[in-house]
Amino acid sequence: MTRRYLFPLALATVLTAGLATPAAAAGDAEWRADLTTVDADDTGVGAHDGAIRLDRAAPTPASARAAVRTGFLLLEPHDLGAPANAVAATVESTVPAGAEVAVDVRGALGGDRWTEWVEARPDAPAVLPRAVGTVQVRVALTAEKATPEVRRLDLRAFSAPARTDGVTAEAAGLSYRVYATREGLVGGTTANGHVIVSRDHFVALPSRRGLSAKGTGTYSVRVCASNGRCEWAPVWDVGPWNTKDDYWNPSATREMWKDLPQGKPEAQAAYENGYNGGKDQFGRTVANPAGIDLADGTFWDGLKLTDNAWVTVTYQWTGSGPAGFVRTEAQNGTVNVRGGATSTASQVGIAANYAQVRVECQVTGQSVTGTQGTSNLWYRIASGKFVARAYVSGVSGATAC
């Protein structure tokens, strides 16, 4: 990433601290983030004199259609030395009106799998759903006009009372019926820095808690239409309508709109019931109940949709059990999902490059050669839907169907 040298702003300094966290104790892991450089994993930010600021060309999340520039500094994973489930953040920053600095934390689950991102707020630490030995921190910067600046970030990991979300996900993951719209916007830039191409394959959800970094599918969904077709695709953008509406999460841990039932997007409530005066978080009148945006390839080729529609979305990272990631030779490639364990079986969907797939079981079928070598094993990733093992990496513990 090109380093940008930006002029400083004469603004008041804001110190954001974990005020509600317990005092540091023996055994807590403490460290200071490196704010001196940015690299290819970072989006829309630049480093100058040991501080991080939004790049002048920072993208506006295409799906949200709101004039809020967004950038992310993704720090290297940090080994805690001992398991912990909470991280407090102290931030020294300059935040002008209309701007925001947020610190997100996630925990490593092994095998390229992570917990969802959880924000470490000024009055509360990020509490993860389980204790982990490695965490990763992401600094999110947003601005309508003048950019915020982060000069120092101190972090502390410790043990806190476990979360009580009150929900146990099925092995396949949480699943809800929501309204889908086509994102389009070819040539635009997504929240994670991906430039949208024709017939692209990804989705947008209205919260950065489930946003994958560019070129990864840590957070992916399975989207199924009423015609029986499904696509597995990574979450690469934030929207539609809102940017802080993780509606798939329990109300108690939902980022905003905590009085809405789990699984109901704020835009749907606003459109159907006049919730929040019929407006989104930006004060815009909601024109449809969309809870997911689909890239053109996902919309047209994966699901064979011709108009906006109600779909069933399964949030893959909320599941448990064996899982892997689709790997194709082409950057924007896809793998056919078949109705049986052979390449001559009917195509019943598509799995996009990088997408995470949950494996129900495996069967022996036609031998196929792909990015992961040659194999006659096929994974069942939904009822009546199979993908060749030759195109899926990282699966461990799959049992016979």
Which positions ≥6 away from 292 have C-beta within 8 Å? 178, 179, 180, 181, 203, 204, 205, 221, 223, 240, 311, 313
pTM attached to this predicted model: 0.91
The CATH superfamily of 175-318 is: RlpA-like domain (2.40.40.10)
Q: Would you say 357 and 394 are in contact if contact means Cβ atoms under 8 Å apart?
A: no
**Distance in Å from the first CA to the final CA of the chain:** 46
Q: Would you say 347 and 336 are in contact if contact means Cβ atoms under 8 Å apart?
A: yes
Cα separation, 129 vs 252, in Å, equals 13
| Confidence check: pLDDT of 65 > 50 | yes
Q: How many CB atoms lie within 10 A of CB 261?
A: 9
Ramachandran angles phi, psi of 3, nearest 5°: -80, 130
Ramachandran angles phi, psi of 192, nearest 5°: -95, 10
- Taking the domains of the chain in order of start, what are their residue ranges? 14-158, 175-318, 323-393
| Confidence check: pLDDT of 2 > 50 | no
| Confidence check: pLDDT of 168 > 60 | no
Q: How confident is the model at residue 170 (pLDDT cuts 50, 70, 90)?
A: low
Which positions ≥6 away from 191 have C-beta within 8 Å? 43, 59, 61, 62, 63, 64, 70, 72, 204, 208, 211, 236, 237, 238
| Confidence check: pLDDT of 359 > 80 | yes
Mind listing the pLDDT tens digit for each residue in 191-221? 999 999 999 999 999 999 999 999 999 999 9
Average pLDDT over residues 104-125: 92
Mind listing the pLDDT tens digit for each residue in 286-342? 999 999 999 999 999 999 999 999 999 999 999 988 999 999 999 889 999 999 999
CATH class of 14-158: mainly beta
**What's the pLDDT score for residue 24?**
63
Q: How confident is the model at residue 162 (pLDDT cuts 50, 70, 90)?
A: confident
**Fold for domain 323-393?**
SH3 type barrels. (2.30.30)
Q: How confident is the model at residue 23 (pLDDT cuts 50, 70, 90)?
A: low
